[in-house]
Chains A and B, each alone.
Chain A
Amino acid sequence: MTAAQFRTPWFWLSLLALMLLSLFVLYPLLNILTASFLGDGPSGWMRVIETPKYRQAIANTLILASAVTVICTLIGVPLAYVTARYTFPGKALIALLPLITLVIPEVIAAQTWLMMLGNNGLITKFLREFGIRLPSFYGWFGLITSMSFIYYTYVYIGTVAAISKFDAQLEEAAQSLGTAPVLSRLRVMLPVILPTILASALLVFTMAVGNFAISMILSHRLPLLSVATYQAAVAEGASDITMQSTLASVSVLIVMSVLFFNRWIVRRGRFEIVQGRGARPAALRGLGGLAVGRPSGAVVVISLLPLVTIAIGAFTRSRGPVMQWGEWTFDNLIRVFVTAPGPLVNSLVYAGVATFISIVFSALVSYLVVKKPNILTPWIDYVSAVPLALSGTVLGVGLLATFNSGWLSLSGTASIIVLAYVVRRMPFGMRNGQAVLHNIPNSLEEASISLGVPPVQSFFKVVLPVMLPAVASAAILTWTTTVAELSASILVYSGGRETLPIQIFRLIDSGLMAYASAYGLVLVAVILIPIIVATKVFGIDVFSRR
């Protein structure tokens, strides 16, 4: 640390960034943690220990997340393997996978599963005719099934990326040294791709712990942590924030320990592929093709069902909560665009502003962290990763506890929704930005400065243009995840500021499936159109496999 550091604009920018992060990330988190110990009423931790319902909620959440993680890995890894290594009939469908998870709101997915596997579901009724009785879809069966079929894509995407980077020459070397093909693949490939699989599996674990929408709809009488936190936050008669803060703290602790475990694994063993030459996919035809294609296709079709349901539902007439199947109408969509366009406009505005802020902030801050390190930047790096450990419900509870009143009262304004969006999604832009900047040589910028362009201008004129394609794809990913955000915004929104996901959640809760489907279809369009425009018009590889 020298005095010279203070004279650069970068130091002061770092300070500003750290202050913003402290105020909007650390301070709310601190508020939750202190309220769990010092909040009004009996100590939150004592209440958690003494109340069987809360103990069960914690245990159930851990069991659920573990089960979902295992199943997602069992579906995602083989699917990734066959997709990366073979071509077979129907493979093109599987390329749609990453899109599916991004565009289907979880509330709608859960509702669709009920239509198929609930007590009155199509599949349930069909099986009952053969005397097979399925367990009730409310509870473990439903929660595990629907979460697995949504989250397996994260394992799939991670594994596909790892396998395609894997150098096939290693495998050939192993084979030429006398190992059988299948065995050599396992022996050589597994250690290399295992950290990635594990990382995606742990991501699934944390998402299952934090899941709000599906848990809310399907858990019914099974206590779960996220539902208990939400209910503590909105329960009638609960007058202090101690309980919700304590439950949120439990969830933070769980996710933190998972993230540390992940770090530890990643550090422990690392195999570097210096210059990978991915294997060419081998064609599978005939029976082999069918054997692989059928199950893979089935997985994709099942994941697509919610999308089909909302497309049909959006154009189906309804009377109150009852769908009049077979009677078609544009009324539901007219409602979305004409009668009650508020949620659509709100979503576009809030998610748009939040995406803009996230991207600008994360581009600038990752530049500071990677290219202009000073004593503050490691802290910026740590603090900006903290939201990854916070589920939406936890973040919502924290923001409510912090900005509800006091010197910075944001409750009742649109800014608290935008804030929730930015805090929740900014870390993705940060990680993306840092990855890109590591690949931009310093010499580029140094050349610009030595030619007489001031440092800040050099950033805008030299570094930013090189970063732009990556920034654009990060912007689109940020947009898609922001516009679908529900669990934090549902805790902080106020009158007239409903977004599309909030409106869909409320409509499904009131049983109004037709309206919910129409808003759902529009949400899907709002997510898909930028992706399509980006890939087709601007040629940006949004789902870059890298």
Chain B
Amino acid sequence: MKYNPIAGLALGLGLAAGPALAQDPVLYTSNPVPAYEAVQAAVKGALDTDLGVITGGSGVLLRRIEAEQGNVQGDVFWSSSANTLGAFEALFEAYASPELAAIPEALRYPGDLFQPTNIHLVTIMVNTDLLDGATAPTSWAELADPVWKGRVIMPDPANSSTGYTIAWGLSKLLDEQTYKAVVANVVTSGSSSAVPKGVAMGEYAVGLTFETNSYAYIDGGQTELSLAYPSEGTFQTVEFSGLIKGAPAGETAQKTIDTLLSQDAQIALLKAAFRRPSRADITVSEHVGLPELSAVAVFPVDEAEAAASRDAFLAAWAELPKAGDAE
């Protein structure tokens, strides 16, 4: 072995540092790094434990929880919308966190099976450097103009719940002709994070994405970017956390959810990841350059109908011509 320094090193490390996370709570999250790091810091501060994190798309995480039912690995899931979570109710345990008292009744999930953590609003993100003389769109209908053909990017509804929220909402809000014209202009992306990145890097003039993703680039100092909340009303999604049934961390798992919903953590999340809080006792504009929810027009969508019609809607969506198709 003395000839093989690598193997020796490996063996040494292997004996010395087997990662052991048995007692610490584990968070299964579809949220990006700055968001879950803010939560990790809040949990460290409030509970003095290290919050383990596993990330992935909501779908893969939920199915992983399903697969791990006999041997539960995670404690808390965060976050997804009601229509995604609806199919996985059996994997979770209701938990009426005391922090829910500060959250409007309208946002809460029946029986408190899930806890509302934040609200997503869809924004039209514009890179003004790429307008080429066109006016920045401030309404959905304006996106039907052929001038936007191939210059608008949105997440693929088949792979992203953000994309599904937008596509479904547009189909309900716009008349059929305008809807088809808008769809004909958009390019869809398999990854929802590619949308704000594509606009910020100057790949696309317009991106349809949640404010949490688009505002990060404006906060970073890219002055050529702007956000619009469409005048006809934008689409809202409430994001929930859930206590996984049989969570190995037990009471600590519940306390992790309490921490996640606490005012401190929600302000930290707003500042670090621009997550609009579910709590009613936080003034958003005090912390970031985003408008209050009351100042934004929201178009109401029947989420149950959206979830039930998913397969049919996606099949119809796949048939519609889009700007990215011609290759």
Q: Which of B189-236 contact A (CB under 8 A)?
A: 189-191, 193-194, 196-197, 200-204, 216-217, 219-222
In the assembled complex, the CB of B236 is this many whole angstroms from the nearest CB of chain A, namely 19
User: Contacts A221-B187, A509-B191 given: A346-B19 contact, CB under 8 Å?
Assistant: yes
Chain A residues whose CB sits within 8 angstroms of the CB of B310 once the complex forms: 237
Chain B residues whose CB sits within 8 angstroms of the CB of A409 once the complex forms: 70-71
Tell me the complex Cα distance, A469–B4, Å.
Answer: 9
Tell me the complex Cα distance, A65–B260, Å.
Answer: 47
Give the residue of A236, A405, A495 whose beta carbon is less than 8 angstroms from that of B67. Answer: A405
Tell me the complex Cα distance, A506–B59, Å.
Answer: 16
Q: Which of A466-494 contact B (CB under 8 A)?
A: 468-469, 471-472, 475-476, 479, 493-494
CB <8 Å contact, A322 and B217: yes
CB <8 Å contact, A349 and B201: no
Q: Which of B274-327 contact A (CB under 8 A)?
A: 310, 318, 324-325, 327
CB <8 Å contact, A355 and B10: yes
Query: What does the 1/0 interface line of A440-478 toward B look like (CB < 8 Å)?
Result: 000000000000000000000000000011011001100
Tell me the complex Cα distance, A138–B34, Å.
Answer: 27
Chain A residues whose CB sits within 8 angstroms of the CB of B202 once the complex forms: 118-120
Chain A residues whose CB sits within 8 angstroms of the CB of B196 once the complex forms: 321, 511
CB <8 Å contact, A349 and B21: no
Chain B residues whose CB sits within 8 angstroms of the CB of A282 once the complex forms: none
Chain B residues whose CB sits within 8 angstroms of the CB of A495 once the complex forms: 21, 26-28, 52-54, 73-74
CB <8 Å contact, B67 and A511: no
Tell me the complex Cα distance, A51–B67, Å.
Answer: 27
Chain B residues whose CB sits within 8 angstroms of the CB of A216 once the complex forms: 190-191
CB <8 Å contact, A496 and B55: no
Interface of B is mostly: mixed
CB <8 Å contact, B3 and A236: no
Interface residues of B toward A: which range?
35 or more
Tell me the complex Cα distance, A324–B4, Å.
Answer: 43
CB <8 Å contact, B54 and A494: yes
Chain A residues whose CB sits within 8 angstroms of the CB of B63 once the complex forms: 238-239
Give the residue of A234, A349, A497 whose beta carbon is less than 8 angstroms from that of B13. Answer: A349
In the assembled complex, the CB of B160 is this many whole angstroms from the nearest CB of chain A, namely 8
Chain B residues whose CB sits within 8 angstroms of the CB of A355 once the complex forms: 6-7, 10
Tell me the complex Cα distance, A214–B190, Å.
Answer: 14
CB <8 Å contact, B67 and A404: yes
User: Contacts A222-B327, A348-B13, A511-B193 given: A322-B3 contact, CB under 8 Å?
Assistant: no
Q: B33 at the A/B interface (Cβ < 8 Å)? A: yes
Tell me the complex Cα distance, A476–B71, Å.
Answer: 37
CB <8 Å contact, B7 and A359: yes
Query: What does the 1/0 interface line of A221-248 toward B look like (CB < 8 Å)?
Result: 1100001000101111111000000000
Q: B165 at the A/B interface (Cβ < 8 Å)? A: no
Q: A269 at the A/B interface (Cβ < 8 Å)? A: no
Q: A5 at the A/B interface (Cβ < 8 Å)? A: no
User: Contacts A318-B220, A353-B10, A494-B73 given: A506-B3 contact, CB under 8 Å?
Assistant: no
Q: A364 at the A/B interface (Cβ < 8 Å)? A: no
Q: B11 at the A/B interface (Cβ < 8 Å)? A: yes
Q: Which of B172-201 contact A (CB under 8 A)?
A: 187-191, 193-194, 196-197, 200-201
Give the residue of A221, A234, A319 whose beta carbon is less than 8 angstroms from that of B219. Answer: A319
Q: B60 at the A/B interface (Cβ < 8 Å)? A: yes
Query: What does the 1/0 interface line of A506-521 toward B look like (CB < 8 Å)?
Result: 1101111001000000
Tell me the complex Cα distance, A216–B57, Å.
Answer: 14
In the assembled complex, the CB of A216 is this many whole angstroms from the nearest CB of chain B, namely 8
CB <8 Å contact, B26 and A496: yes
Query: What does the 1/0 interface line of B158-177 toward A look like (CB < 8 Å)?
Result: 11010000000000000000
CB <8 Å contact, A349 and B58: no
Q: B133 at the A/B interface (Cβ < 8 Å)? A: no
CB <8 Å contact, A227 and B190: yes
CB <8 Å contact, B7 and A356: yes
In the assembled complex, the CB of B75 is this many whole angstroms from the nearest CB of chain A, namely 10
Tell me the complex Cα distance, A236–B190, Å.
Answer: 13
Q: B32 at the A/B interface (Cβ < 8 Å)? A: yes
In the assembled complex, the CB of B169 is this many whole angstroms from the nearest CB of chain A, namely 18
Tell me the complex Cα distance, A450–B94, Å.
Answer: 74
Query: What does the 1/0 interface line of A36-53 toward B look like (CB < 8 Å)?
Result: 000000000000000001
Chain A residues whose CB sits within 8 angstroms of the CB of B60 once the complex forms: 233-236
Chain B residues whose CB sits within 8 angstroms of the CB of A221 once the complex forms: 156, 187-190, 324-325, 327
Tell me the complex Cα distance, A359–B9, Å.
Answer: 14
In the assembled complex, the CB of A133 is this many whole angstroms from the nearest CB of chain B, namely 13
Q: B98 at the A/B interface (Cβ < 8 Å)? A: no
User: Contacts A495-B21, A496-B26, A530-B6 given: A320-B219 contact, CB under 8 Å?
Assistant: yes
CB <8 Å contact, A412 and B73: yes
Q: B146 at the A/B interface (Cβ < 8 Å)? A: no
User: Contacts A235-B159, A320-B34 given: A496-B220 contact, CB under 8 Å?
Assistant: no
Query: What does the 1/0 interface line of B136-150 toward A look like (CB < 8 Å)?
Result: 000000000000000
CB <8 Å contact, A321 and B197: yes
Chain B residues whose CB sits within 8 angstroms of the CB of A530 once the complex forms: 5-6
Q: A114 at the A/B interface (Cβ < 8 Å)? A: yes
Q: B49 at the A/B interface (Cβ < 8 Å)? A: no
In the assembled complex, the CB of B82 is this many whole angstroms from the nearest CB of chain A, namely 14
Tell me the complex Cα distance, A231–B221, Å.
Answer: 33
CB <8 Å contact, B84 and A496: no
Q: B17 at the A/B interface (Cβ < 8 Å)? A: yes
Tell me the complex Cα distance, A489–B134, Å.
Answer: 46
Tell me the complex Cα distance, A353–B15, Å.
Answer: 10
User: Contacts A119-B201, A352-B11 given: A236-B188 contact, CB under 8 Å?
Assistant: no
Chain B residues whose CB sits within 8 angstroms of the CB of A351 once the complex forms: 10
CB <8 Å contact, A405 and B70: yes
Tell me the complex Cα distance, A24–B10, Å.
Answer: 22
CB <8 Å contact, A322 and B221: yes
Query: What does the 1/0 interface line of B42-71 toward A look like (CB < 8 Å)?
Result: 000000000011111111101110011011
Tell me the complex Cα distance, A356–B59, Å.
Answer: 35
Query: What does the 1/0 interface line of A89-103 toward B look like (CB < 8 Å)?
Result: 000000000000000
7 pairs, A vs B, C-beta closer than 8 Å: A235-B60, A236-B159, A349-B18, A352-B14, A356-B14, A412-B71, A495-B26
In the A-B complex, list the 9 residue pairs whose CB atoms are closest, starting with the nearest. Answer: A322-B220, A352-B10, A120-B202, A236-B59, A495-B54, A234-B60, A221-B324, A510-B32, A119-B203
User: Residues of B with Cβ closer than 8 Å to A?
Assistant: 3-7, 9-11, 13-14, 17-19, 21, 26-28, 32-34, 52-60, 62-64, 67-68, 70-71, 73-74, 84, 87, 156, 158-159, 161, 187-191, 193-194, 196-197, 200-204, 216-217, 219-222, 310, 318, 324-325, 327
User: Beyond A495-B26, A515-B33: 17 further Cβ-contacts under 8 Å?
Assistant: A53-B318, A114-B201, A221-B189, A233-B60, A234-B59, A320-B220, A322-B219, A324-B221, A342-B19, A404-B67, A411-B73, A468-B3, A475-B6, A495-B53, A496-B52, A506-B55, A511-B196
User: Residues of A with Cβ closer than 8 Å to B?
Assistant: 53, 114, 118-120, 138-140, 216, 219-222, 227, 231, 233-239, 318-322, 324, 342, 345-346, 348-349, 351-353, 355-356, 359-360, 404-405, 409, 411-412, 414, 468-469, 471-472, 475-476, 479, 493-497, 506-507, 509-512, 515, 530, 533-534, 538
